[in-house]
Structure formats: C-alpha cells, structure tokens
Structure 1
Amino acid sequence: MPPETKRCAIVTGATSGIGEAIAEELAAQGYALFLVGRRQAQGAALTARLAANGTPARFLRADLSDRSASEAIVRDAVETFGRVDALINNAGLLCHGTAEETSDADWDQMMDVNLGAVFRLSRAALPALRRSGGSIVTIASDWALTGARGAVAYAVSKAAVAQLTRCMALDHASEGIRINAVCPGDTDTPMIAAGLTGDDRAARLASYGAQVPMGRVGTPQDVARVVAFLLSEAAGYMTGTLIPVDGGMTAG
C-alpha cells in the first residue's frame, strides 16, 4: 500500500454532467480523485486534465451493475491513494414510463443501478471511511421528495435512496461517518435533453426552466458546490439530510 496522500474522494458517474462537475469542484478543494465511469475515453481525458492542474487522479472503467465492482473500486482506491475520505454516489440511470409502461427489466435495472449500486458501494466503503472519519454524499433527485408523473421506476428508486441515506446515517453517526444526499431538480446535463443539440436543446431547457421558481434549470456546478459543502467542516453537524437543489420546485 502506498503512503497516505491528501484526502481521497471516490466519484462515480464521473465522465459527464454532475459527476464531472463534482470531480472538478473537489479537485479545487484539494482532494485526490478516484473516478469511476463507463466511458473510457472521457474518463481518461478528465483524469489527464485534472492531473495537468496538479490533482492526483485515477480513472477506473466499471459497470456498477456488476456486483463485484464495489469491493474492487474501494480496494483500488485505497491501493492507489492509501485512504478514502469521501464517497460520492453519483452514477444513475433514468427510465421514463408509468407502471403499465415499465417492463420488469426496466424496473429491475432502475432498482439495481440507482439503489443497489449505491448500497453496495456504500457498504464496501464503510471500513475505509471509518478509519478516515469520512463522509458519503449520494445524488438522489427532487423526485425522491415528491411524486412524479411518467417516471415511476426512477422516482421510486431515488425515494429508496433517500431512505437508505437516513438509515445509514443513523447506523453510522456514532462512528464519525456522515451520510447525506443531494436532490437535484432539472439540471443541464446530457440526461435531461438526450439526443438534442443546438436550438432544440436550448428550447427544451428554456421550457423546463420556465416551470422553475428561479426561472432556470440548474447547472452541474450548482450541485457540485453543495456536495463540496456537505463534505466540508462547515457541514460537520449534518447527517441524514436530503438537500433539494432545485430552484425552489419542491418548496411548492
């Protein structure tokens, strides 16, 4: 095992959108980064960019639906950086459909990736986080806090993530491990307007933003800054919280 280095954060779903913004924000906060995703080229490019700016970073291509992946991720992070201080469960999938429109395969995939992978990776990270007094932040959704039309499997999986956050926070608070969730609303990521570009994409984002009290959709950086706050000493008395980053949508 290498000598311990600066604080290390594992970030899943790190190759685009919110995950990439979280990686960049935590790099600015002085973390070494163990990045996980499915896109090898994008992961390598992000790692190279971070390293060029002085951030120790490694990328591991992994499929979180593989039930052996979680233990391997934590083991590799500890072998690379000597410690794990933060786990950011960001990877997730979106499936639209009412109950009648949702197949068993779609349901199972949402539960396994959006919930099961969060559970497995959090469980695997607990021993390392116990040693470092570290923290877990999971990216849930504002649909974890309210009902949602036309996305039953996704919304239920994220609501279950919210309850997992609360339960694990209670179980591990006495060990010095804080566990919180961020609940983004509509955010300008590849997921929100998949397949659209240019004027079509701008129009879609504007239509979503018109429904938000603050008048716009969120940015990945809006979410990343809240994640960084939850990992900081400023949030040292916070655990089991679910923080909406949604421009006021759940307030109504």
Structure 2
Amino acid sequence: MPDLREKVAIITGASSGIGKGTAVEFAQLGAHLALTGRNQENLQATAKACVEAGSPEDKILLVTGDICDEEVRINLVDQTVQKFGRIDVLVNNAGSFMRGTLETTAMADYDRIMDVNVRSVVRLTQLCIPHLTKTKGAIVNVSSVNGIRGFSGCLAYCMSKSALDQFTRCVALEQASKQIRVNSVNPGVITTEIFRRAGLNDEEKHAKYMEHHKTTHPLGRVGDVSEVAKTIAFLASSDASFITGALVSVDGGRHAFCPR
C-alpha cells in the first residue's frame, strides 16, 4: 500500500463522491487532511468517515465554501499551513458536470463550468506551489475520460477536462526542476451523485443510464469510487516517484473503446 503517513494533503470537493472516497483512503494511509467542499453537513460526514478510517480528529481541517471564491482558496491554503506547517499533496478534485450541446449551452453555464473545472484549479495550484516547492510535493488533478475522448451532449464539460489535462502536462514540465510531480486521473463513469446533480435525478432514468454504461466500458461495468481513490493515493505517494505529466485512465478501458 502507498505510504502517506503524516503527509499533509489538501483535497477539494471532499464532501461527496471521489473527493470523499479519496479523503477516506488518505486517512487509512495516515495522511493529515485539509478538506474543502460547499456542503458543511456532508463535509462533516466525510470527516467522521475519515476518523472511522483511522485519522485522529485533530489531524483533519475542514474549510467550507465554494472553491471558485478566491477568499475560500486563500483561507484553505493559509489555514492548512497554519495548522500543519506545510503542504505535501494537492488533490484538485472539485468539479461540475453539465449537459449541453453547442446550440443549447448558455454562456453563463459555460463560464461556470470553466470556472469550477479549470480556473479554480489553476488559481489554487498557484497558491500551493510555494509550499509544494518546499516539500517536493505532488499534485493530482481529477479529470475525466471526457478530456481524452470526444462525446456529444456535454460540450463544455469535455472542453474543461481537456483543458485540465493540458494543464497537467504543462505544469508537470514547469515544476519538474523543483521535483514537484503533477499527474491526472481520468475516470470513466463512476458510481457517484454527479449525474443526479446534473439533472438525472429520476431513479428509473438514473438506473437505466448506469446500466447502459456497463456496455460502454470494455470491462463490462461502471467504476467504484475506491478504484479512483486508490489510484490518486498511488500517484500522490513516493511509489509514483518517477511519474509526472501522466494521464492515468481509470475507466475500464473506455478511453480505448471504438464502438463497432
């Protein structure tokens, strides 16, 4: 198992889904956690799950707020350093999914997707770099198979994740001389609440959607949060010490799939 004992990790979007699963995985591996999300109740539930996984309560920092808010980003970094003295890992997980084609995507919605999925990542990473330089730390960005492959019906989301992938590559090159490693995970369809939040909240339609996507992944199923979280933990750890600028697909082979 990767060793994250006493590593200080910031995880955004930690109140649900992949962010929550990653926080619990990091807790099991001994990390000190700075967790942020918009929903305070859900964030506290994540903290409780981390304690149950073995993390001491005093080694968990919670910062509630919208990651698109500059004050929230600054507070997150400042409070993390004040509490733990350093930053070793940044997991840029907070993200938003939206359906829409070129004709149906309102520019306000486009701007929001880009703000959450790209701009907030760029800015938070800028704030963390001075601290990661001191620790020769690691950054893991949570992207998507949609950043690698084109899909109709979610244009802005695909564009945002493609931009995030290029950000990963470029920053990996820029920061390599400081021994800061930068990688992405690119999940396929994972069992989380993201599709319900994007409007697929009818239980029957959601079930059909998930059942259909068993056929779009060569391994014949959708993924589990823990499978993505374990990959993030690996990339954040010294086990991945010679990996940087990589886009790691956690998608049951979907990125390589061509329907016939």
Question: Which residue of structure 2 aligns with residue 64 of structure 1?
Answer: 67
Q: Give TM-score, length-normalised by structure 1.
A: 0.94
State the 1:53 CA deviation. 4.5
Q: Take 1:181 and 1:211, find their aligned partners in 2: how far apart are those partners?
A: 22
CA pair 196-26 structure 1, distance change in 2 beyond 3 A: farther
Deviates more, 1:187-196 or 1:113-122: 187-196
Shift of 1:45: 2.0
1:123 — aligned with what? 126
Instruction: State the secondary structure of the residue aligned to 2:153.
Output: coil
CA RMSD of aligned residues (A): 1.5
- Give how far 1:73 is off: 1.0
Whether the aligned pair in 2 keeps the contact of 1:17 and 1:190 (CA below 8 Å) is yes
Q: For residue 226 of structure 1, what is the aligned residue in structure 2?
A: 231
Specify the alignment match of 1:26 in structure 2. Answer: 26
Structure 1 residues 78-131: Cα deviation after superposition (integer angstroms, max 9, x where no partner): 111111110000001111111111111011111111000000111110011111
Cα distance between partner residues in 2 of 1:207 and 1:49: 31
Which amino acid is the alignment partner of residue 195 of structure 1?
A: N
Return the offset for 1:29: 1.1
Q: Look up the equivalent residue of 1:61 and give its one-letter code.
A: T
1:176 aligns with 2:179: yes
Q: Is the 8 A contact 1:6 1:30 kept in 2?
A: yes
Q: For residue 224 of structure 1, what is the amino acid of its counterpart?
A: A
Q: Which runs of 5+ in 1 are unaligned?
A: none
2:201 to 180, 195, 209: 195
1:239 maps onto 2:229 in alignment: no
| 186-195 vs 154-163, greater mean Cα deviation | 186-195
Deviates more, 1:28-37 or 1:203-212: 203-212
- Cα deviation for residue 230 of structure 1 reads 0.4
SS at match of 1:229: helix
SS in 2 for 1:68: helix
| 2:210 corresponding residue in structure 1 | 205
Q: How many residue pairs align between the two structures?
A: 247
Identify the residue that residue 110 of structure 1 maps to in structure 2.
113
- Residue equivalent to 1:76: 79
> Normalization by structure 2: what TM-score?
0.91
Offset of residue 60 of structure 1: 0.8
**Structure-2 separation of matches of 1:44 and 1:120:** 25
Partner of residue 214, structure 1? 219
Helix, strand or coil at the partner of 1:195:
coil
Q: SS at the partner of 1:192?
A: helix
Aligned to 2:11: 11
Separation in structure 2 between the aligned mates of residue 185 and residue 170 of structure 1, nearest angstrom: 26
Taking only the aligned residue pairs, the percentage that are identical comes to: 39
1:28 deviates by 1.1
Quote the residue 1:85 is aligned against: 88
Supply the distance in 1 between the matched residues of 2:54 and 2:223 (Cα, whole angstroms): 28
Which 4+ stretches in 1 moved above 4 angstroms?
A: none
State the match for 2:50 in structure 1: 50
The equivalent residue for 2:40 is: 40
1:203 Cα offset (Å):
3.3
Return the letter of the residue paired with 1:179. Answer: V
Residue identity matched to 1:26: F
Q: Equivalents in 2 of 1:54, 1:188: separation in Å?
A: 24
